Structures are given as structure tokens and as C-alpha cells.
Amino acid sequence: MNTKKKVDMTQGPIMRLVLLFALPICAGNVLQQLYNTVDTLVIGNFCSSISLAAIGTSAQPVEMVLCIFLGMGTGVSILVSQCAGSGNFEKLRKLVSTTTTFVYMCSIPLSILGLFLGPLILKFMKVPEDAWNYSVAYIQIYFLGTLGNMGYNFNAGILRGMGDSKASLFFLLISCIVNIVLDLVFVAVFHWNVSGAALATIIAMFASWVFSIIYIQKRYPELEYSPIPGKPDRNLLGEIVKVGLPLGLNNSIYSVGHILMQSLINAQGSAFMAGCSVASKLTGIANVAITALASASCTFSGQNIGARNYVRLRQGHLLLPVFSGVITCIGGLIVTALCEPIIRLFTPDPEVIPLAVTYIRIVLPFTWLYAVFNGIINYVNGVGVVKYPTIVNILMLWAVRIPVAHLINRFIDGRYIMACLPISFGFGMICMLCYYRTGHWRSLMKLAKEQESKTATT
């Protein structure tokens, strides 16, 4: 097995290995944010604020439909990391083959479904009439790129599970360049508005997928990877569904909540929609480390549970989430201080700018709570526990965030509904910290103590 690009989390200095693994993902996240932000920048500067609002609101239905299957991709990453940690490469090859077939099984029907389901969701979200046609055009074109989107994300999950986080950076770099060039051509030159931005995005998605296929075949020939679907292994398909489905459903339920939140945002008008769209892009830029360190946490715990290294599992359970929280706090404060001039790069609209500034100043300084919460969730997922995080996510959204948003909208001012986000982050973090008091975690710590005693006696 090719190990030149692989990061083995089962031995060596923990933080050095985590940073070695996370930094390429973090750089990739910067590119991903740039990739997502280019649409907003180009539309904001070459089209109207209505077009900008359409892109912001159209992202939610896409997320809701796709995330259940992208959660499966996270499940694949967990299974791959456990196989790599245990050294079971025969199972790993079968898992990769089954994953490829699973991508086709899901993405092609989903593309067709999305063409019809997307407008229905937009209608439920009460998208304003002036943004309706743009929103429908964007979402229908975007769904045509489902195969490329899922193909890339599943391949990236395989590589992360293997401990190879650098490859995705190069795929995203290529994709980002393609997206930027095509955005400028389709929107600024051809004046195709949001349809051009959506078309540029799906072409870039397929470019990422193609390059990930070439890379895996070249760097990991032992995996016998083929982009052509074959007969899946039923047992492994069952494992993918068992681990990935709760994650996907968790994401999907979360996205339904986002749609309800977006409907509250839409009720405030197109200017508020545009302001929230711009602010969410800046929030994503400030929080690029969260996903990277969360992926590192998942791979770290997955590899060590696979290797039955319980002492090392204990050493990282708080270290990694807290580190993510500190990094996110620093980034959030910096972007909050500089938010107004950055927002002006996205839109010159004097009505949109103050709304975006308000959003950032309320949300971003407290996003470190989410970083700690997300770090623990991914650490626990890597261990193989997915039900507890799912329950916490559901409660955080449906018992805290949405009710608080409605209370703010009704009794205070709808322009401040984003305050429900930091409140829910704090609730989620406290609940995930409570996992370390459960019987399952205590049993793992008991094994760590026994393992430590055996090591000391030898």
C-alpha cells in the first residue's frame, strides 16, 4: 500500500500529525470557500442584488437533498480509516469498489428528482416573486452536477480515511480555477446571470471528480479503483448505510431546519436575503479551520479505534476540539473587525451592507462554540458512535435554534434572528461534552487504563 502520502495517526506526536493532516484540508477549504464565493462576487458586481439573493436562497434546497448522501461519504471515510488502522486491505478494496457503485446508484436518480423537487422547496420557502425565476434556474442547473459533486466528495472521503489529505487540495485548486474562469466568461462576458454561475459550478465539480479518479488510480493501484460501477458487496453496502445513513439523516434534518430559517430570512425581503448571503460567505471564510480539524479528529479517532489504541484515543478527545475552538475564535474576531470593507467587495448596495455587518457581528465572535461542538461530534463519529451526535444535532436545531428564531422574529425584530445561531452552538457544545460522561466512553477509558497498565508492566 502506498504510504508516501498517508498520515498514520496511530503513532507519533498528536498535534504535529493533526496539523500535517489538517493544513492541506484547511487550504482546500479556503479554495472551496473561494469556489463558493466567486459566484457571489461575480453576481454581486455584474448583476443585481435580486440575483445575489437568488443564489443565497437556492443553496438551501440543494443542501437538503444532497446532504443525506454526502453524509454517506463521511461514513465511507470512517470505514476506510478503520480498515486502514486495522490493516485490512482486502476489505478496503471491496469497500472502494462498492462506494463507486453507490455513487451512481444515488446521484443519477437524485439529479432527476432535484429538477422537480427544487422548485417545490423554493415555493415552500416563500421565495419573493422578483427572485423566483433566477432561483429556479440556478437550482435546476446545479442539480445536473450531482454526479460530479457526489463522485468527488466520496473520493475525497476515501483519501481522508487513508490519511491522505493533500490530494483534495490539488483537486480543488484545479476546480477553483475552472470555476473562476467560467464564472467570468459566462456571467461577465456572456451575461447569462445566475444560470451562467450555476453552469460554471457544475463543470468545475466534474473537473474535481475526474482528477480525483486519476489520482487514486495512479497513487493507490492496490485499491484497484475503477470509475465504472460494478456489482456492490452487500455486506459493505450495509455497513456504509449503517454508519452513513444516521449522519446523512442528521444533515438532512439539519437542512430542513435551515430551510425553515431561510423562510424567516426571505420574509424580511430581498435586501435582507442578499445581506445574509454575503455574510454567510464571510463566515465560511473565517471558519475554514473547523472542517479541516473536524476531519482530522474523525480520522484520528477512526484509525486509533481500528488499531485498538485506546490510550491514544483518550489523549486526543479534548485536545483536538479545544484547539479547533481557539483557532476559530482568533479567525472570527479578525474577520469581525474587518467585516465592513470586506463586504463592500461583494456588493456596493447601501441597503445590503449594514444588514450583512449586523449578521457577522452577532454570529462570528461566537462560532468557536460550534468549532468545539463539531470537533467532538467528528471525534465520536470516528469511534463509530453516530446515534448520540444525531440526537444532539436534532435537539440543537429543533428544540433551540428554530424556536429561538421564531421568538426573536415575533417579539424583538426579524432582522436579528441570526442571534439564534450562537445560542444553539452553546447548547450543542454542552451536550457533546456530556458524551464523555456516558457508559460507552467510560468503557473505552477503562480499556485505555488497562492498556496503559500492561504497557507499564512490560
pLDDT digits (tens, 9 = 90+) for 181-196: 999 999 989 999 989 9
In terms of Cα–Cα distance, which of 72, 228, 279, 247 is closest to 158? 72
Contact assessment for residue 371 and residue 325, using Cβ atoms and an 8 Å cutoff = yes
Contact assessment for residue 73 and residue 295, using Cβ atoms and an 8 Å cutoff = no
Distance CA 184, CA 38 (A): 9
Distance CA 159, CA 151 (A): 13
Distance CA 82, CA 59 (A): 33
pLDDT digits (tens, 9 = 90+) for 13-29: 898 888 888 887 777 77
For residue 137, is it within any domain? yes
pLDDT digits (tens, 9 = 90+) for 347-393: 888 888 999 999 999 999 999 999 999 999 999 988 888 789 888 98
Cell 454526502 belongs to 70
In terms of Cα–Cα distance, which of 250, 385, 321, 367 is closest to 22? 321
pLDDT of 36 over the 70 cut: no
User: What confidence category does residue 255 fall into, taking pLDDT thresholds of 50, 70 and 90?
Assistant: low
Helical axes 339-346 vs 319-337, angle rounded to 10°: 70
pLDDT at residue 131, rounded to an integer: 84
pLDDT digits (tens, 9 = 90+) for 271-284: 888 888 888 878 87
**What's the start-to-end Cα distance of the chain, in Å?**
31
The range of the structural domain enclosing residue 440 comes to 14-457
What is the tally of structural domains in the chain?
A: 1
Contact assessment for residue 326 and residue 369, using Cβ atoms and an 8 Å cutoff = no
Distance CA 436, CA 333 (A): 29
- Number of Cβ within 10 Å of residue 315's Cβ equals 15
Q: Which has more pLDDT, 369 or 124?
A: 369
pLDDT of 315 over the 60 cut: yes
pLDDT at residue 4, rounded to an integer: 47
- Number of Cβ within 10 Å of residue 161's Cβ equals 28
For residue 263, is it within any domain? yes
pLDDT of 298 over the 90 cut: no
pLDDT of 304 over the 60 cut: yes
For residue 279, is it within any domain? yes
In terms of Cα–Cα distance, which of 78, 75, 73 is closest to 100? 73
Helix ranges (H only) for 144-192 are 146-162, 167-183
Cell 457577522 belongs to 360
- Poorest-pLDDT segment among 10-24, 198-212, 255-269, 366-380: 255-269
Instruction: Dig out the grid coordinates for 455 from the structure.
Output: 504497557
Instruction: Dig out the grid coordinates for 353 from the structure.
Output: 451592507
Highest mean pLDDT among 48-57, 100-109, 249-258: 100-109
68, 173, 284, 451 from 59: Cα distances, Å = 15, 22, 14, 48
pLDDT at residue 241, rounded to an integer: 83
Over residues 107-131, mean pLDDT = 84
Contact assessment for residue 72 and residue 241, using Cβ atoms and an 8 Å cutoff = yes
In terms of Cα–Cα distance, which of 154, 138, 204, 218 is closest to 174? 204
For residue 9, is it within any domain? no
Contact assessment for residue 163 and residue 185, using Cβ atoms and an 8 Å cutoff = no
For residue 8, is it within any domain? no
pLDDT digits (tens, 9 = 90+) for 57-103: 776 677 666 777 777 777 888 888 888 777 788 888 999 999 999 99
* pLDDT, mean over the chain: 85
Instruction: Dig out the grid coordinates for 94 from the structure.
Output: 471491496
- Write the burial class of residue 387 (CB in 10 Å: 0-12 exposed, 13-18 middle, 19+ buried): exposed
Which sign, positive or negative, has the C-alpha torsion 386, 371, 198, 202? negative
282 in helix, strand or coil?
A: helix
Q: What is the DSSP letter of 229?
A: -
For residue 321, is it within any domain? yes
Tell how far CA 68 is from the center of its chain. 12
User: What confidence category does residue 438 fall into, taking pLDDT thresholds of 50, 70 and 90?
Assistant: very high
pLDDT at residue 261, rounded to an integer: 78
Distance CA 445, CA 448 (A): 5
1, 28, 358, 440 from 259: Cα distances, Å = 44, 27, 21, 34
pLDDT of 44 over the 90 cut: no
pLDDT of 2 over the 60 cut: no
pLDDT of 5 over the 60 cut: no
- Poorest-pLDDT segment among 32-46, 305-319, 320-334: 32-46
Share of the chain above pLDDT 70, in %: 93
User: What confidence category does residue 322 fall into, taking pLDDT thresholds of 50, 70 and 90?
Assistant: very high
Contact assessment for residue 366 and residue 416, using Cβ atoms and an 8 Å cutoff = no
Instruction: Dig out the grid coordinates for 200 from the structure.
Output: 460554471
For residue 7, is it within any domain? no
Q: What is the DSSP letter of 8?
A: -
What is the DSSP secondary-structure string of 220-247? -GGG---SS--PPPHHHHHHHHHHHHHH
pLDDT at residue 424, rounded to an integer: 94
pLDDT at residue 303, rounded to an integer: 87
Estimate the share of the chain in helix, then strand, then coil, as percent rounded to the nearest 5.
85, 0, 15
pLDDT of 288 over the 80 cut: no
For residue 2, is it within any domain? no
